[in-house]
Amino acid sequence: RGSLIAAVTHVCTMEYVAKMLGEDLEMLEEIVANDDNLSYGAIISVHTGRDEALTALTDDGIEELKDMLADARRSSQTWSDFLEDFVGEPEIIARVKQNGPR
């Protein structure tokens, strides 16, 4: 007999995920820019034109991202290390650090 595989029926754009989680959009975009940071299939590219695309996350991807951020915010040091490792853009890091670990 065949096996049942759950199909992705919807995704959320990064802009929507940022609003939903109350996070900095550019920080989240930096994190998911490396598709190794989340499980395979959690990050979806939605092509809107010949050379245009939006990045979106599945529900599992959103949960993974939430867990990743919660783990990173255990202390000021883990948050700082996380930003240095996963974000890389100095302006974004400085802006996000001003808000501190929540």
Element (H, E) at 57: strand 52-57
CA distance 48 to 38: 23
Query: Does residue 36 lie in a domain region?
Result: yes
Of the pLDDT bands very low, low, confident and very high (cuts 50, 70, 90), residue 84 is very high
With respect to residue 2, please indicate whether it lies within any of the assigned structural domains: no
Span 21-59, pLDDT tens digits: 999 999 999 999 998 999 998 999 999 999 999 999 999
Residue 88 scores a pLDDT above 90:
no
pLDDT bin (cut points 50, 70, 90) of residue 1 is low
Residue 79: give the domain boundaries. 11-99
Does residue 33 form part of some domain? yes
Pairing state between β 52-57 and 43-49: antiparallel
Residue 39 placed within a domain:
yes
With H, G, I as helix, E, B as strand and everything else as coil, classify residue 75: coil
Query: Would 5 be classed as within a structural domain?
Result: no
Quick one: pLDDT at residue 97? 85
> Is the pLDDT confidence value at 65 over 80?
yes
**Amino acid (1-letter code) at residue 51:** D
The domain total for the chain is: 1
With tokens 């989680």, the residue in question is: 21
Cβ contact 77:85 at 8 Å: no
